[in-house]
Each structure stands twice: as structure tokens, then as C-alpha cells.
Structure 1
């Protein structure tokens, strides 16, 4: 494989890098625009404000953003940040007696009183560490109990998975480091900062590697002639692999001791600090802006929803989030008044799914809607895990739920099978004929895939996960411009961007039609989608194929705020007349 081929492989490995180089751009604020009026497949938010909400006054709705942190001082967010009415900032006291000191804008579960964590491992690393003392020296011929054999086979599969990830990360880090180093040398020799494709045409390469680097750069500049943007994307790719090798996949790195909690105690809730921004708030700030960036200040961008206050709950490091932190983040948000919770994160393994399930059930008892990103692996989540999930582990009697099982739900209401990869004997059949589908999963949960702005066969974003039974709806998630720390703005791609679009629509409904329950709001969002008629491209087992949109999500469509608000008004009027 040549250097050029390997670099292009790296570019394809980072969806944001590949997509960011596209020359074509959507209309500004496209995610809020209307397909018929504006020619882009947005969610018709602006149409709803213009035609349905004028003169109407909604209630304030708190939306919790469980993420890596939010910059509460951003020019487009500071007016919409939740402020705990019972807490006085900076006095180092728990004024409202909720167990959290100085939680003015939310809480940070990734820290101690004086320190905040930025990096953590992937869950597969933590699980291997958990089981390696017991199984590292075990052979296939070693006598084991039935339960131990399950654990051992799953441990082996995790090790294989880990080694593949580590090899890819090391290769990516090496290659992108070579590209970065040689490009810096070339730029110094040219002697200019704002380089153009003409500069690279005129440059005489000193060796074979420089020739290949120039080919890569020229290829990208032909797509978009902004050298600074190319360099920024290259640096982002470098940092990605650097983090993977040194933190995410590093078996010797474990930051949890710095928090000071008893990690084994899932019932422990009181740890962390009030630093809701944390050391890296790019992702969470971007998500928060999509939900509710100030629509009235005539600067920056327009969030989907007005009448919203953003509560920042920090539980997602650069690495995989921990189930204990996620469960506590959900409970904190619920207890402090959130009516919608956005969760733009996910992972392939789960340490303690039942702990997260208990928090999801708690949210359901308090009528809180959870909105979750489907993930960015171009996979079918009917058969591939993206935790957390709405399906309850104990309902399936899944003792090893966190170990990358394959679960398939069939029409009629029961699991068709739960395969434990690596186990001899194939998939474990789960026969519970009396188990109803509605009891298997959280009803207050919406799973969101990412779509683009064109109403064609490329509507499903190439990176987006999908699933006929596991993904509910699609929403805009390509080249979404939103807030980042320092009162700046940036375009990002991902189901992480699609999920807050839906959270914003849910918040709009809950603001103007507060009598509707979380389950009713979900039902409205599902039933009011814009149906997609054409077949769309998805990836399956490395190949691209075309399928019906009803095969990529349950609703068969893209979220539509205008339709949803009309349906909500009709339902609330009907409910009122029946009282």
C-alpha cells in the first residue's frame, strides 16, 4: 500500500475529515429550513415559527445536554443557559441542599473538587483490564464453568477487537505524522503562509515522500482551495490519532483515581465539581447551540427551539463515557427539572448497562424524554451495539449484555435471538412468548440517525448508523454550523448533530403544548415525519446498497417540526375536550 493510498484510507477513517473537504455547501441554517419552500431537507422550523407560532407564548423548557461540557459564556448561549435558582455562584456552599456545591449551570461528573478529567479509555480497554487477570493465561482447553466459558470467549473477542483498533490507530498516527511533518517542511521552503495550489505546482519535491504529500494536498485543494482549512482538518486528524494511541487505547492509562469516587459503587452519586465547561467543550457547546442558540440576538446562528434553558451535565470525556457517570447525569438532569435530555454519545460495549437502565426508567417515571444519537459507524444497529440503548438488559435476561451481543427484535414483540459473539453453539435463543415488546424498551426514548440536505439517494449521511427496528427517525447531521467555545462557530457532521435537532423539536412541542407527556411527544415526532419515497444508499458489510427508507428507521422519514406542532395542537385540543 502506497503512502498516498494509506493517507486516503486515514481520511476515510475520519468521516468529518472526508466530508469537510466537499466543495458543495448547503444553505445557511439549512437544518431549520423547509424542503418545499427552501429546497433543502431541513426540519421546517422556520416555517413553523412563521406560520404556527406567531403570537403564541410558550412555557420555558429545560433541556439537559449530557456531553463533554458547554461554554456557558458563549455569546450565542449565555442568555439561554439554565441557572439553578437555589444556588449562589462561587460561595462553595450547597445552597439548595441538592447535594451539589455551586451547581449554577449544571454539574460535572468527570472530576474531583479541584480537577477535571479530559481523556479516558475506550470501554473495551477497561473491560479487558477487568478480566485479564482471570483469563489472560487461560487456554481453550482449560476446564471452565459454563459462565466462565461465556466470559472467556467474550474476553477473547474483546482482545481481538482491541488489537485491531490499536493497529489502525498506530498506523494512522504514523502516517498522518509523516504527512504533517513533511508538509510543514514544504511550507517553510515555499516561504508563504496562505498557500495555493499554484504554489504546490511550482514547488520541486526533494524526495519521493514529498512528491506524494504534494499529490495529496493538491487533490484536496482542488475540492476546496482553502489551505488553512485543510491544515486545520489535518491537525484535527493528527490530534485524533494522538489521543487514540496515548489515552483511549493505552492500557497503562487510567484517570479514574483522580476523581476520588468508589468506581465499583454504582449507587454513589455525590462526586465531581461544578465546572460544566471542562477542558474540552467543543462537542457539547456545538450540540447546545443546535438545540437553543439565541434566536433573537441577530448574531451567530439560530437554535431550533426558543423558550429553552440549557443545563450542562458533563459526563463524556475524550474517550468512552462510563455507565456510572451517564446514569448519574440522567438522574441529576431529571431531579433538577429537565424535560428533555440530549445524549450525543455512544460506545460498542457497556460496563453496567443495568445501572443506566435504572436511570432511564427513573426518567420515565418523571416524564422526561431522552434523545440519543445513533452513532457514526455506518452500521446497522439492529445487529451492532451502540450503547446506551433503549432495550432493557434485565428484560432480556442478558447477563452479558455489555459484551457486544447481537440483538434482533421481530414484529410481534419478542427477541428473535441474542448472539454472543465468540460463543460456541451460535446465538443464544431467548424464548419468552409472553414478553410484550413495549416492556422490553424505554418508551421515553428517541434514537436519531443523520441525514443530509439533498432529497436524493444520498439522503442518509454516509457515516450514519441506521436500523429498521433500532433507529426511530433521521434529522439533519451534515455540515451543521453551530457554536464552539470562545464565541466562535464551526461546521460539524455526525449523528451528534442530528440528535440535538430532534431534542430541539421535542422542546418546542413541550413548550407550546406542555400537557403532552414525553411518550406522546415521541409519538408525535414519529408520526409527523416527512416520508422519504426514494431508495437511499447505506453500507452493509463493506458494500453500498440501496434500500427503502423504511428499512433504515422505524418512522420511514425525516423529522418535521411544522408537522409535529400541528399534530401536537390537534392532540392537546382532543385531550382537553375529553376531560
Structure 2
């Protein structure tokens, strides 16, 4: 009977929430919330504060008061973390089996002096650390272009051809190559116009006025006509005198070609560089790579994520994280510019699992994953070890049911990992943020992802936007469940979060309804999730 009552409560939760939300927000109020909202709005609740936060403050007051949770290790796989930040330093994970600075792998986990985590983007001696990278799209385009340099790509196998075409569509480098071809074609058209004028007016200085007065005889060549009109527009825009020779307009052609060539060359050189070559140099087979340096001048992103999850609560400093009784394990695989490497992501997940993390946050991603199987195997490993992974859905305003954002919760065989939660971003008034990815099958739920206030490097604090911020909000709630109800498995935590989302009435939303663009159709709700976890805990006794 208790189980039946529990299930009845689950089914009634959306109805209860809608009953509490007995009023919508006016357009004026929505607009105002973008600039005037509580600093900690993501912690608040709609029924009390009129913002679509997660109800964490209410949960602490009404459900968690007087209770003590179990310590949870949360791995933040990101761009590094300021481990000396005033609001984080006391909760940074410490590997107690390792002796600091002795140059020995004391705990035999394959990593020397990993006192507080690991940096997979650095050389073993610590002298070189990757702080800039390029997009995976461009890296793959360079690799495949070299691979197929002497191959007619029309003869490739269907799967290989499809992948190469995908890479070409995504790669900015490939787009620059197409742009160069386009510019070169325009230069040819300008040359054709020049030859036309010389032929038509052999003994005359052709002026800009001649350009205005001449009706060309190549009307069937649409590109040539277009170039002819563009030259006129350039003359007018530059306010050139009509008496000037027309060839002053031709100078744009070599300028455009030279600029496009220089841009392409610069992109090609940067995309061809393998920053990991130094990191991987001299490694023996199966040997791990990296070093223990975790704090960098560009670690703002990871520091912000860590604070949102677990900045020390109630210390009167800065802000409060969502979860208490947490240790943050920083693992560095990301740089602010450029994409992460699949090998590093796979290693980072395994490192987190092997060193005690039961929740992992991954606020990063990309649209090409050449070594997806490595990452899939690592996610399966975490799934087997009952470790929950929370990840941002991405900021490309794309439907990820159609355009995959990696690392994906879907394995190559189409099966969905039971331990991965994918998070989109919403505004204070409960609508999807314009940048957020979405997907009826691929985005599980939404969370605050606008001006989320958290920690920054050097004891600073600021608000940030993105699904990168929405992910740690959900991660913080998941950590609360794992802390106060440790008997729950990763899959059970995910199910509770999915079942207890806040449902925003469709008529209160814009064109994109959360119900139509995510699996759960709603926003993570810490209060309701903890409430259901408590009910399930009682019914299982």
C-alpha cells in the first residue's frame, strides 16, 4: 500500500505544482526579470519568489533542516578550478593516500602526486600546459584532408563519405576554403569585366561613369551581372568621383583574395598543430599522461561550475552552493577556446570513478567525436560503477535529436545510458534560453542557465549564462539526493529528478514549449525531488 501511495504521489506532483502556480507572468514582468532578478534566483521557487528557480532554499528549510548527509565526491571535469578560492578551498577533494611532492605514485593509481585531482592537458614535468586548442571539426577536417589527399572522395564507402561531408559542413576551416574559392571566382569575374571594357572601348579611358552608363552584353551570365552591379555599389558607397578610371574598383579583388588566403593559411596552421604532442611525448604503452596542476588564469569556467555545485554554505562569504557535505575533485580536460580531446574525456571519467566520485559534472561538448567509442566505454564504466554523469546540452540553439552534441548519452548501438542526465537552460521566467540546445529525446530536463551567480578565479564572484551553468545546478541537486539518501542508485536519482520537474503551463511559455523539447518537459526541482526521495526511503523500509 505504501508503494501504491508513493506512486500516486509521483503522478500527482505535476498537478500539485500547477495548482500552486495560479498566476502567470506578464510580458513586462518577464522583460524586467532579465535585468532585475534576485542574485540567487536559481535557488528560489516560483510559488514563493515568482522566479523559476529550483527550490533549494525551501528544501533546506523544510526538508533538510536538522539532517546530516553523507560526504559525496563530485568530479568537475572542466577547465581547471581555483582550488585556493576562499569559498572552495575547504571543500576541494584531497587524495589522502598520496604524499604531496615526493614524485611517487604512492597509491599506485597510475598518477604521481595527484593530491587534489588531475590535469590531462599538461606534460608530466609540468613545464607545458595546453591553454589553447582548436575545434574538433577543424582538427578532423585537416586529418581527413591529408588522409584523402590522393583519393577521389566520390569513391569512398557510404559511411566514410557521410562522415567526411558532415565534417566539411561543421568545419570553419572548410568554410574558409569555400570562401576563398568564392572570392577567387569573383576576381575572375572582375577580370572578365575588365577585358570586356577594353574590348568594347579600345581607345578610351574607361571611367566609373562608363560603368554607370553601360548596359553589359553578358546578361546570360548571372554571376557576371552580379559582379557588375557590385562594382557600381562599391563606387557609390565609396563616393568615388565618376571621372575616376574604373580600375580603381578592381583593387578590391586582390585585396579580397589575399585576405581570404591569409585567413585560410592561419586557420590551417593552427588546426594542424597538435598541442598534445608534447603532453604525450615519451609515454610508454598504457601509461597515463598529464600533471597535477589544476588552477590556471583561464579556469574561470570550472571555478564557476564548482561553486554553483558546492560553494561553502552559510559561511557569510560570497554565495552558497546547492549541495553541502561535498568534496570537489577538479579534473582538467577543457580549454576556454577550442574543443576537448576524446582521449582526455574518457580518461577523466575513469579517473573520477576510480578515485571515489559518485557524481560527475561535464559542462562542455562538441559536434564531432572521432573517438566516440573511447568515451562510450568510459560512460559504460561509470554506469557499471553506479556513478551519475550530468552534462550540459550545448549552446548552439540546435535540436540535438537531429544534431548530436558530444559526449552523448546515446551509445553507438542507440541504447541510452541510464546514468547520464542532459540539461538545457531556462530563464528566470521558465522559458528556454535562446542559445540552449533542446531535444524531445536527447535533453532530459531544464535548469536555470541565465546569470547564475557563482565563484570565479581570484576570490571573485559573477553571473554566467549557458547550459554550462544549468548542468551544475542539476548536478548540485543530484548530489543532495546522493548525500541524504545514499541508498539511491544513479539511475534512481535520475528518475526522481525527471519525475519531479516543475511544469510551466504551456500558455505561459513562448513558441518553444519545454514539454515539446525535452524528455521530462520541465525544470529540475530540488524541493520536490528531496520530498519524493524521502517518501521512497520510508516506503522501502
TM range (shorter): 0.7 to 0.9
- Residue 70 (1) aligns with residue 81 (2): yes
Deviation at 1:369, TM superposition (A): 0.3
Query: What is aligned with 1:212?
Result: none
Contact persistence 1:294–1:302 (CA under 8 A): yes
Distance, in Å, in 1 between the alignment partners of 2:266 and 2:344 is 22
Which structure would you say has the larger RCO, counting Cα contacts within 8 Å and 6 or more residues apart? 2
In 2: Cα distance, 1:465 partner to 1:160 partner:
19
The 1:442/1:64 distance shift into structure 2, 3 A limit, reads same
1:346 and 2:365 equivalent? yes
The structural deviation recorded for 1:367 is 0.7
Q: Which residue of the partner structure matches residue 63 of structure 2?
A: 52
Q: 1:562 — aligned with what?
A: 527
Structure 1 residue 164 displacement after superposition: 6.9
1:482-511 deviation per Cα after TM superposition (whole angstroms, max 9, x unaligned): 111101112110000000000000000010
Distance in structure 1 (CA, Å) of the matches to 2:34 and 2:496: 36
Alpha-carbon distance change, 245 to 320 in structure 1, aligned in 2, over 3 angstroms? farther
Structure-1 separation of matches of 2:92 and 2:501? 29
Closer, same or farther: CA 40–248 of 1 in aligned 2, 3 Å: farther
Residue 91 of structure 2: SS of its match in structure 1?
Answer: coil
2:524 is the alignment partner of 1:552: no
3-state SS of paired residue (1:449): strand
Cα distance change on mapping 1:574 and 1:98 into 2, 3 Å: same
The answer on 1:446 being equivalent to 2:421 is yes
SS at match of 1:111: coil
1:38 shift after superposition: 1.1
> Gapped runs of 5+ residues in structure 2?
1-31, 181-236, 239-262
SS at match of 2:99: coil
Q: Which of residues 162, 170, 181 is equivalent to 1:161? A: 170
In structure 2, the partner of 1:85 is 96
**Which residue is 1:174 aligned to?**
none
Distance 2:267 2:43 in 1: 37
SS in 2 for 1:259: helix
Q: Equivalents in 2 of 1:462, 1:164: separation in Å?
A: 26
Match of 1:520 in 2: 492
What count of residue pairs does the alignment treat as equivalent?
426
Q: Deviations over 1:244-268 (max 9, x none)?
A: 99779833332111102589x9x84
Runs of 4+ deviating beyond 6 Å: 243-249
Matched, 1:287 2:311: no
Q: Does 1:299 align with 2:308?
A: no
Quote the Cα distance in structure 2 between the aligned partners of 1:167 and 1:247.
8
Structure-1 separation of matches of 2:265 and 2:92: 35
For residues 103 and 53 of structure 1, the distance between their equivalents in structure 2, rounded to whole angstroms, comes to: 34
Secondary structure, counterpart of 2:48 in structure 1: helix
Aligned positions of 1:150-549 closer than 5 A: 150-163=159-172, 167=176, 250-260=270-280, 268=286, 270-317=288-335, 318-393=337-412, 395-396=413-414, 440-455=415-430, 459-535=431-507, 546-549=511-514
Determine whether 1:61 maps to 2:72.
yes
| 1:166 to 1:88, Cα distance in 2 relative to 1, 3 A | farther
Deviation at 1:152, TM superposition (A): 3.5
The corresponding residue for 2:139 is 126
